[in-house]
Structure 1
Amino acid sequence: MTPSQLLLEGVELMLFGMGFVFVFLALLILSIRLMARLLERFAAPVPQRAVAAPVPTRASAQDPAPEVLAAIQAAIHQHRARRG
């Protein structure tokens, strides 16, 4: 085979492979969408839960105990002293 024939055969194989992958992915997307529609239609409806109470934010939470704050401050001081 000549180099040009080999190149054309490689391009043909590349296009065939890319086309096959494209068709496969398109079919995969279509089947996923079809399954989603089927599930929406035939699946039992999900019961709605009652609205949950709001989660308290950090600002409304209690402050840590003074002993905990002292331990945190000591750990930070020790860490900074080691770093130099």
Structure 2
Amino acid sequence: MHSTLIEQGFDLMLFGMGTVFIFLFLLVVVTVCMSKMVNHWYPEGEPVADIVAEQPPVEPLIASVIQVAIDRYRAR
């Protein structure tokens, strides 16, 4: 039995699509497993935003100097 060129092309297409499907399926499975392992071993810490909020406010003199510099830059 000789297979036609169309049948050979169809077989090759199915083999290629199957290979890509299996590769992508394995990629998703490995990525999900790695994500679960990383979250298990290295859980998320507390947010850092609280530390940043404790910075002292800018002095009024420095704020006015910055505002004057911005005004002069925009006036150009």
Common fold by TM > 0.5 = yes
**Other-structure match for 1:24:** 23
Aligned equivalents of 1:68 and 1:40: distance in 2? Answer: 48
For normalisation by structure 1, the TM-score amounts to 0.57
Partners of 1:8 and 1:31 in 2: CA distance: 34
RMSD (CA atoms): 2.6
1:42 Cα deviation after fit: 1.2
* Amino acid aligned to 2:38: L
- Residue matched to 1:75: none
Name the CA distance, whole Å, in 1 between partners of 2:36 and 2:26.
15
Q: Hey, what's the Cα distance between the residues in 2 that align with 1:7 and 1:68?
A: 70
User: 1:20-70: per-residue Cα shift (whole Å, max 9, x none)?
Assistant: 0011001001100000001111125434312534xxxxxxx83512x751x
Where does residue 52 of structure 1 map in the other structure?
52
> Taking structure 1 as reference, are residues 9 and 40 closer, same or farther at Cα in structure 2, changes over 3 Å only?
same
Q: Percent identity?
A: 32
Q: Which residue of 2 aligns with 1:39?
A: 38
Q: TM-score scaled to structure 2, two decimals?
A: 0.62
Q: Which residue of 1 aligns with 2:6?
A: 7
| Alpha-carbon separation, structure 1, partners of 2:34 and 2:74 | 54
Measured in 2, the distance between the counterparts of 1:37 and 1:68 equals 51
SS state at 2:71 partner: coil
- In structure 1, the gaps of 5 or more residues are 54-60, 72-84
The runs of 5 or more residues in structure 2 that have no matched partner are 54-65
